[in-house]
Structure 1
Amino acid sequence: MVSERGLEVLRAIVQDYVDTHEPVGSKAIVERHAFGVSAATIRNDMALLEDEELITAPHTSSGRVPTDKGYRVFVDHLAELRPLSSAQRAAIGSFLDGSSDLDDVLSRTVRALTQLTGQVAIVQYPSFARAHVTHVELVQLGGGRMLVIVVTDTGRVSQRLTFVRDEFDDSDLARIRAELGTLLVGRSVREGLLRIADRLSEASPAAAPHEAATDEIVRAVAEELEEFRQDRLVMAGSATLARRESDFRGSIYPLLEAIEEQVTILRLMGEMVTDSQGLSTSIGRENEPFGLAEASVVASDYDATGSRARVGLLGPTRMDYPTNLAAVRAVARYLTRMLEEDESSR
């Protein structure tokens, strides 16, 4: 069993290894930290930590580095979140203020996080299956191009360009808008999709003008609403992995592949367990089922008008957990507040 001082030694090893990227020895701990005991006593503590598989020696006669299990103990029991500085908080505000819609807000969020932390930043779109459609607009651009715009009560504005066979005059366009309004406005995304499916399954009147082109527009709206129901991620900072390649024992390609495909990271983030502060961490071998055994993910929940999602960071296991957890928590709180203010202003 590890003593209280032993756990403090573990804390020192984690902090020093993250700061220096060098294995940590007993002499360095005595010099850098006020334990008030000899290097020989610290070596005994380190031997116990090694027996518990919390630290390991990467080379013969070297210092020690934390194991994945050691990082887990550190995060669960020893890490103290470091409050962001006023400059860092101001940077978050300046990045996010003035965002025009949800897509813009989330894009700015990941850019702010990666600049703050130097890690890959991830933000999950909230699920909008229960959102309600407030407006559908059609803009004819010429050449058979039609811009379909869908707005929901969560503040999401989406646009899809579709190609139709006909050109519409103002009265025809007004008729289609009215039909879409009747089908969708005031209804949930889920209900709207069901009503569109019923509409497309009905036999079209033979004499109905522009019926085939109208069906194409309705299908485009359905495709847009279907995306509202799908989990999606916005990410930034993948180039930082190349600069941190030495932090990975093996190849970084599994991480790059996961970033490109998104599905793996979505599953991982969906299964992470949230603590009482709304924070979650998945470290090293805990990510082995997802093929990311050399990476860690830290995340915080945010609230998008009743629908919860996560904002997080992906990086090597040798990361500054206290600072990164504080950063995702601060950004998640700011994001929640922004979305709540936007909702109340409508």
Structure 2
Amino acid sequence: MAGLTDVRRQEVLRAIVADYIASHEPVGSKALLERHRLNVSSATIRNDMAVLESEGYIVQQHASSGRIPTEKGYRRFVDHIHELKPLSAPERRAIISFLEDGVDLEDVLRRSVQLLAQLTRQAAVVQLPNLKLSRVKHVEVVALGPTRLLLVLITDSGRVDQRNVELDELIDADGVHLLRDLLNGALAGRTLTEGSTSLAELAQNPPAQIRSAVIRSATRLIETLVEQPTDRLILAGTSNLTRIARDFPAGLPSVIEALEEQVTVLKLLANVPDLGNVSVLIGGENEDEDLHDASVVATGYGSDGHTLGGLGVVGPTFMDYPGTISKVSAVARYVSRVLAGE
């Protein structure tokens, strides 16, 4: 890194990366002087480019061509992003109005990934909530008849489950009220795993007057909590990558296959940083070999400080990193606000 301790040389690298992202063409010293106020001679720029090349931050594809950034150069560029591109007013309005029209959590997430693909012109992916981290928000008990109940379980991730319970004895309004209080006492604020344990303990020592209702309801809810569906992903914008297929040296099909392989993408999104932070994986930093020609920008969404899932975009290594990071972060922030009911 010794060569990059020079502020000017860092600025030259930043200019090369920015110009290559904008043009997708090799960048020469003359172009740098014309487009950027570097206040030095062309000889100095050529010398700086030679040093950057020797240190592996840029590369010259042909003897007479300009330079293009390497993965190491992109990483240095990303690590020194101090200001993100602010979203335009129309972009902010589009995000808010589009997401607020969602009818439930899954619809909001589907909208978010479609919007992210449109805003970034990359492939976008979102993970449905990690149910292991979900907490029970409320349990509602509705009497459908003298021996039939409807249990409605609501989690903080927006999941709603309904289960019918058939009783072997009558239950009156006071019994329904007591049952509701007992179930909420056992479940409210707890994770699904914790809730299953609390329900089992409740069923071991229920009030005599509603003993059967408690046992049957607890058993039915435990089944509901344990029946956790496998993690699912929503993918959008894969067609965006076909516009730049030539920019994936190993071929676009391998990238598409990686995106369609749930396990691969879930592993990417399983390691998203804490809420409010964004991770960037460039080329070979991706664990999956099929993504070695791509970059992944991802973050988490959630509520009450808990990350419920990840979302992000996949595109070429020369993507607009400041703009992409800003848009991924903004969409995740608005999804979290919708989850929180703001």
TM-score, normalising length from structure 2? 0.76
Residues 114 and 236 in structure 1, CA contact (< 8 A), matched pair in contact too? yes
Post-superposition Cα deviations, 1:43-93, rounded to whole Å, max 9, x if no partner, equal: 111101101100011233211111001000000014631101111111111
Opposite residue 68 of structure 2, the aligned amino acid is: V
Opposite residue 264 of structure 2, the aligned amino acid is: T
Post-superposition Cα deviations, 1:227-249, rounded to whole Å, max 9, x if no partner, equal: 2xx54432211111212212211
Query: Secondary structure of 2:295's match?
Result: strand
Distance in 2 (alpha carbons) for counterparts of 1:183 and 1:291: 51
Please name the residue that 1:335 is paired with. Answer: 335
Please name the residue that 2:320 is paired with. Answer: 320
Query: Secondary structure of 2:284's match?
Result: helix
Residues 71 and 283 in structure 2, CA contact (< 8 A), matched pair in contact too? yes
Residues 134 and 157 in structure 2, CA contact (< 8 A), matched pair in contact too? no
Find out whether 1:240 has 2:240 as its counterpart: yes
Change beyond 3 A, Cα 1:272–1:218: closer
**Deviation (angstroms), 1:123:** 2.3
The number of residues matched between the two structures is: 313
Query: Secondary structure of 2:314's match?
Result: strand
Please name the residue that 1:260 is paired with. Answer: 260
Distance in 2 (alpha carbons) for counterparts of 1:75 and 1:338: 29
Query: Secondary structure of 1:56's match?
Result: strand
Q: Which residue of the other structure, out of 169, 190, 193, is the alignment partner of 1:190?
A: 193
Change beyond 3 A, Cα 1:315–1:42: same
Distance in 2 (alpha carbons) for counterparts of 1:321 and 1:121: 15
Q: How do 1:169-180 and structure 2 match up within 5 A?
A: none
Opposite residue 292 of structure 2, the aligned amino acid is: A
Q: Which residue of the other structure, out of 117, 121, 142, is the alignment partner of 1:118?
A: 121
Residues 149 and 157 in structure 1, CA contact (< 8 A), matched pair in contact too? no
Distance in 1 (alpha carbons) for counterparts of 2:247 and 2:280: 18
Post-superposition Cα deviations, 1:154-181, rounded to whole Å, max 9, x if no partner, equal: 1523569x9xxxxx99989x99xx8x98
% identity of equivalent residues = 45
Residues 298 and 313 in structure 1, CA contact (< 8 A), matched pair in contact too? yes
Bigger Cα displacement from structure 2, 32-41 vs 106-115: 32-41
Distance in 2 (alpha carbons) for counterparts of 1:258 and 1:185: 42
Opposite residue 132 of structure 1, the aligned amino acid is: V
Query: Secondary structure of 2:302's match?
Result: strand
Post-superposition Cα deviations, 1:177-215, rounded to whole Å, max 9, x if no partner, equal: x8x9899766242245568999xxxxxxxxxxxxxxx9x
Gaps of 5+ in 2: 143-149, 202-216
Change beyond 3 A, Cα 1:78–1:105: closer
Find out whether 1:249 has 2:249 as its counterpart: yes
Q: Which residue of the other structure, out of 29, 39, 45, is the alignment partner of 1:26?
A: 29
Find out whether 1:81 has 2:80 as its counterpart: no
Please name the residue that 1:97 is paired with. Answer: 100
Please name the residue that 1:284 is paired with. Answer: 283
Distance in 2 (alpha carbons) for counterparts of 1:280 and 1:137: 42
**Deviation (angstroms), 1:127:** 2.4
Distance in 1 (alpha carbons) for counterparts of 2:289 and 2:22: 28
Change beyond 3 A, Cα 1:221–1:8: same
Distance in 2 (alpha carbons) for counterparts of 1:148 and 1:253: 47
Residues 96 and 108 in structure 1, CA contact (< 8 A), matched pair in contact too? yes
Please name the residue that 1:60 is paired with. Answer: 63
Please name the residue that 1:302 is paired with. Answer: 301
Post-superposition Cα deviations, 1:228-282, rounded to whole Å, max 9, x if no partner, equal: xx5443221111121221221112223222221221122123335569x612111
Change beyond 3 A, Cα 1:85–1:316: same
Please name the residue that 2:51 is paired with. Answer: 48
Residues 17 and 69 in structure 2, CA contact (< 8 A), matched pair in contact too? yes
Distance in 1 (alpha carbons) for counterparts of 2:165 and 2:79: 64
Query: Secondary structure of 2:130's match?
Result: coil
Change beyond 3 A, Cα 1:69–1:313: same
Query: Secondary structure of 2:45's match?
Result: helix
Distance in 2 (alpha carbons) for counterparts of 1:327 and 1:334: 11
Post-superposition Cα deviations, 1:304-337, rounded to whole Å, max 9, x if no partner, equal: 2342133211111110000001111111222222
Please name the residue that 1:134 is paired with. Answer: 138
TM-score, normalising length from structure 1? 0.75
Distance in 2 (alpha carbons) for counterparts of 1:327 and 1:98: 19
Deviating 4+ runs (over 4 angstroms): 135-138, 147-150, 168-172, 180-186, 191-198, 217-220, 272-275
Please name the residue that 1:39 is paired with. Answer: 42
Change beyond 3 A, Cα 1:4–1:103: same
Gaps of 5+ in 1: 139-146, 163-167, 199-213
RMSD over aligned Cα atoms: 3.9
Query: Secondary structure of 1:341's match?
Result: coil
